[in-house]
């Protein structure tokens, strides 16, 4: 064993972790801390889910309170906000560092931070950008957004980086959740586009989904550069210089999309909300502008369009 590796193992041994929640994600997280050599105490509402981890070296606590008492760092990975409330009811958190990886809204994260601080704990919220098989596999590219106490993050950055990359996005406890939900919302928009595209060709015996897939994938990949274009325009406030596909041209194309869908017997329910937004923007005089302008309209920001 090299000196560096020895030191890393010693650091892990000196940094015990308590984990509340052994669902699919909690179990994946647990295994990485055990493998790295962190003493790990676990608690799960259904106690039998801890058995396999105990066989791998974890210590099972009979109650959440007992688990919390066992380590300075408490990681919570439960189903939802209600389950966190239930699991931590009456538990002494004084002096603890609480990291909540349970998915929730920014408002819930901010309220949980206040709640934890009132109980004498430091608090960090996390949004996991990974599915369980990506945990502990750096090449898989998964990571976690963290926000809240910077001091907590700095104190435990090495431990928190064991399951997946750690990306601190601000002192506002709601920011991790906001980043998480924003990225996932982008993903759902993409899923909506993919769903509609496949539906259009679904009825054609001569267009095989597996032959169509690389075409769709290549096109989405090519268009993903729009993310940077949007960002630049939102920051500069310039929606008119160098516009390649202006809004008026795009709105003129809407009947083609609706007509094609009708001809293929496909519902337009996934497309029409975005088309509606573009038509509203055109009505406000933004015909010469880039569709990035729609962000301000959607966000209800004043001066959404200029003539
Ligand atoms: N799995 C995934 O793909 C996603 C990836 C991104 C992040 N999410 C979020 O991670 C949280 C946990 O997800 P999970 O995959 O571990 O979820 P489950 O396998 O369903 O396990 C749920 C655990 O929560 C416990 N639990 C539920 N209700 C209560 C309660 N009232 N009191 C105490 N614990 C509760 C449950 O216990 P049990 O059913 O085994 O007794 C599991 O430990 C989640 O926020 C995802 O959105 C995962």
Q: HSE (CB half, 13 Å, CA atoms) of 40?
A: 28
What CATH number did the domain enclosing 225 receive? 1.10.1040.10
Last residue of a domain, one of 136, 171, 206: 171
Number of domains in the chain: 2
Tokens representing residue 213 in the block: 């897939």
Residues 192-231 have pLDDT tens digits of 999 999 999 999 999 999 999 999 999 999 999 999 999 9
CA 27 to ligand 1 centroid distance, Å = 10
Whether residue 26 is found in the same domain as residue 100: yes
Alpha helices in the chain (DSSP H): 3-13, 24-36, 51-55, 64-70, 81-88, 106-118, 150-160, 175-202, 209-223, 226-236, 247-252, 254-264, 272-283, 294-298
| Nearest CA owner, ligand 1 atom 40 | 46
Q: Are residues 186 and 165 in the same domain?
A: no
Determine contact, residues 128/99, Cβ cutoff 8 Å: no
Is residue 164 pLDDT above 50, yes or no? yes
Ligand 1 atom 44: residue of nearest CA: 79
Same domain, 41 and 186: no
Q: Please indicate, yes or no, if residue 234 is contained in any of the structural domains.
A: yes
Look at strands 40-43 and 122-129 and give their pairing: unpaired
- Judgement on whether residues 71 and 144 belong to the same structural domain of the protein: yes
Residue with the nearest Cα to atom 18 of ligand 1? 23
Place 307 in a pLDDT band, splitting at 50, 70 and 90. Answer: very low
Q: Which residue has the tokens 């002096």?
A: 95
Task: Identify whether 306 is part of a domain.
Answer: no
pLDDT given at position 306 = 45
Domain span holding position 279: 179-298
The answer on 193 and 152 residing in a single domain is no
CA-CA-CA-CA torsion sign (10, 13, 16, 20): positive
What's the 6 CA to ligand 1 centre distance in angstroms? 34
**Average pLDDT for the chain:** 96
Q: How far does residue 17's CA lie from ligand 1's centre (Å)?
A: 18
> pLDDT tens, 86-143?
999 999 999 999 999 999 999 999 999 999 999 999 999 999 999 999 999 999 999 9
Q: Is pLDDT above 80 for 1?
A: no
pLDDT tens string 142-154: 999 999 999 999 9
Q: Which residues line ligand 1 (CB under 6 A)?
A: 21-26, 44-46, 49, 77-80, 83, 86-87, 102-103, 128, 131-132
């Amino acid at each position: 064993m090299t000196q560096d590796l020895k030191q890393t193992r010693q650091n892990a041994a000196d940094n015990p972790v308590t984990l509340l929640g052994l669902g699919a994600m909690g179990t994946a997280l647990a295994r990485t801390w055990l493998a790295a050599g962190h003493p790990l105490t676990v608690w799960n509402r259904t106690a039998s889910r801890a058995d396999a981890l105990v066989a791998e070296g974890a210590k099972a606590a009979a109650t959440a309170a007992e688990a919390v008492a066992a380590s300075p760092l408490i990681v919570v990975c439960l189903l939802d906000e209600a389950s966190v409330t239930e699991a931590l009811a009456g538990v002494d958190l004084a002096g603890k560092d609480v990291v909540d990886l349970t998915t929730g809204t920014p408002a819930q994260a901010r309220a949980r931070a206040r709640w934890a601080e009132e109980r004498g704990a430091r608090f960090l919220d996390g949004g996991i950008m990974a599915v369980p098989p990506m945990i502990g596999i750096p090449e898989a590219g998964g990571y976690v957004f963290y926000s809240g106490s910077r001091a907590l993050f700095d104190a435990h950055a090495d431990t928190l980086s064991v399951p997946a990359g750690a990306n601190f996005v601000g002192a506002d406890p709601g920011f991790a959740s906001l980043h998480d939900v924003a990225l996932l919302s982008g993903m759902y928009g993409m899923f909506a586009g993919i769903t509609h595209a496949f539906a259009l060709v679904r009825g054609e015996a001569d267009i095989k989904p597996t032959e169509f897939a690389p075409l769709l994938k290549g096109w989405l990949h090519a268009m993903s550069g729009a993310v940077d274009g949007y960002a630049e325009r939102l920051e500069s406030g310039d929606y008119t210089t160098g516009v390649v596909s202006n809004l008026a041209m795009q709105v003129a194309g809407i009947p083609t999309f609706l007509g094609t869908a009708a001809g293929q017997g496909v519902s337009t329910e996934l497309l029409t909300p975005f088309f509606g937004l573009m038509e509203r923007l055109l009505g406000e005089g933004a015909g010469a502008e880039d569709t990035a302008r729609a962000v301000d309209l959607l966000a209800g920001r004043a001066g959404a369009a200029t003539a």
